[in-house]
Amino acid sequence: MEKAKVFFTDFRAQLGDSLPSKHKKIIKKAGMEQLELDGKFAAIKMHFGELGNISYLRPNYARAVVDVVKEFGGKPFLTDCNTLYPGSRKNALEHLECAWENGFTPLTAGCPIIIADGLKGTDDIAVPVRGSEYIKEAKIGRAIMDADVFISLSHFKGHEMAGFGGAIKNIGMGCGSRAGKKDQHSNGTPTINPELCRGCQRCFRECANQGLVFDEKTHKMTIDTEHCAGCGRCLGACNFDAISFEDYAAVKILNCRMAEYTKAVLDGRPNFHISLVVDVSPNCDCHGENDTPILPNLGMFASFDPLALDQACVDACLKASPLPNSQLSDNMAKKDFVNHHDHFQNSTPESEWRSCLEHAEKIGLGSRQYELITVK
């Protein structure tokens, strides 16, 4: 198989230049004009950030993509789907208000903002997945599937279950409606070690599915397996390592389902992908907070192949040196530290990412073999 082309530029900006300008340059060098955008609706899928989190991509980067799409005659809109968990993005009204508060407005973005699965997260369409093993029909936000062209703009960072969040997670999990997100998370539930649980109830506030029960007598949290969706939000909320996934396969199945949802979104339509390895926080931007970055700002990547893009980004991250005073460096300094020779797994030992990329290649989403082309 021919190697996919992945274009790269760093975050250095000389006098008279700017990062949005570099962003536009790499998008054009990577060949976005090949999408034949003239007169077409272009969905730009991104994450607007949870309220309280400030590690999400700045609106300036979105505006750069919008400007290039318009330059080629396209009709862009920024989009995302509602969340499964409680927070500021679980319905379209709150989601839009969150986007506005975080700086994403028609004025700053230069285009409309549409929540793809509608007011309550129920406006989806069933999309068949060719060659799938887990998902026969993916439930995708309707506005995303109505678009003529699909573009992803991803913040590449850590993730408490999937190891990292990049293009495949942004597309697969992000484009699923609320039912689609439940579809991907439905296998596997966490366990809580009562000896480590402090009874602080931080995890309880993160659960949208009545999957957690607090025992008033023992002051410990327990899992209600009947209602738990296996979304892993509680895992990221716990500061005391009391919560883990007993079934390691559950994370692998989640990864495989995300890959299949990504294929449902992209199969048979023009698509293009951009990932920025910047503010590499240890957890997802879905959290209402963000810890200090675990890795340095490495650069901007772009490709027509989302799998090659994720592989190139993770390869760059694994070659980088961990940043001090971060979750990753703290873990590495522990007496009982076990070195996985993987920054993301060293940051969150319960996480795993390789199965996602392996399955994505298996089902024909793209190639893990790539040629990295540096743009100055």
CATH code of residue 242: 3.30.70.20
Tens of pLDDT, residues 179-215: 898 889 876 678 899 999 999 999 998 888 889 999 9
Per-residue pLDDT, 166: 98
Per-residue pLDDT, 84: 79
**Cβ proximity of 76 and 111 under 8 Å:** yes
Q: Do residue 149 and residue 238 come from a single domain? A: no
| CA–CA distance, 163 with 213 (Å, rounded to integer) | 27
Cα distances from 131 to residues 36, 264, 266, in angstroms, run 28, 10, 14
Q: Do residue 179 and residue 231 come from a single domain? A: no
Q: Do residue 79 and residue 152 come from a single domain? A: yes
CATH code of residue 338: 3.40.50.11440
Q: Is residue 376 a part of any domain in this protein? A: no
Q: Is residue 121 a part of any domain in this protein? A: yes
Q: Is the sign of the CA dihedral 303, 51, 353, 256 positive or negative?
A: negative
Q: Do residue 215 and residue 148 come from a single domain? A: no
User: Token pair for residue 322?
Assistant: 């961990």
Question: Of 199, 226, 246, which residue sits at a domain end?
Answer: 246
**Cβ proximity of 317 and 295 under 8 Å:** yes
Q: Is residue 72 a part of any domain in this protein? A: yes
Q: Do residue 174 and residue 228 come from a single domain? A: no
| CA–CA distance, 25 with 37 (Å, rounded to integer) | 17
Residue pointed to by tokens 């397996």: 225
Q: Is residue 374 a part of any domain in this protein? A: no
Q: Do residue 168 and residue 232 come from a single domain? A: no
* % residues pLDDT > 90 (the chain): 82
Q: Do residue 77 and residue 43 come from a single domain? A: yes
Domain extent at residue 227: 189-246
Q: Do residue 352 and residue 235 come from a single domain? A: no
**Can you list the residues of the chain whose pLDDT is less than 50?**
none
Count of domains for the chain = 2
Per-residue pLDDT, 331: 96
Angle at 248 between CA 243 and CA 254, to 5 degrees: 95
Q: Do residue 320 and residue 365 come from a single domain? A: yes
pTM passes above 0.75: yes
Question: Of 198, 227, 246, which residue sits at a domain end?
Answer: 246
- Residues shown for the chain: 376
Q: Do residue 213 and residue 289 come from a single domain? A: no
Q: Do residue 205 and residue 91 come from a single domain? A: no
User: Where is 144: in which H helix or E strand?
Assistant: helix 142-146
Tens of pLDDT, residues 148-179: 999 999 999 999 999 999 999 999 999 999 88
Per-residue pLDDT, 248: 52
Angle between helices 59-71 and 19-29 (to 10 degrees): 40
Per-residue pLDDT, 21: 97
Q: Do residue 172 and residue 210 come from a single domain? A: no
